[in-house]
Amino acid sequence: MPPAGHFIEIDNARIRYVEEGTGPAVLILHGASSNAEDMRLALGDHLDGFRAVYVDRPGLGWSERPDGR
């Protein structure tokens, strides 16, 4: 069971994202061999005043890989 979050389907793959906070949106993408939860822990309170959208990149974290890739 994945941690709290939402899913959207892109290219036949379920992509997980988490939204936190309010204010102008900031999209947070993790690096290789990481996931959205790692970024949430690393950034902590540094995004106060923003709506942070953390994304598990395709094939990493709780996101699926697109078909055939």
Q: What is the dihedral of CA 20, 25, 45, 55, to 10 degrees?
A: 60
pLDDT, tens digit, 9 for 90 and up, residues 24-68: 999 999 998 899 999 999 998 899 999 999 999 999 999 999 885
Q: 19 phi and psi, to 5 degrees?
A: -115, 135
Cα separation of the two ends of the chain: 24
pTM for this prediction: 0.86
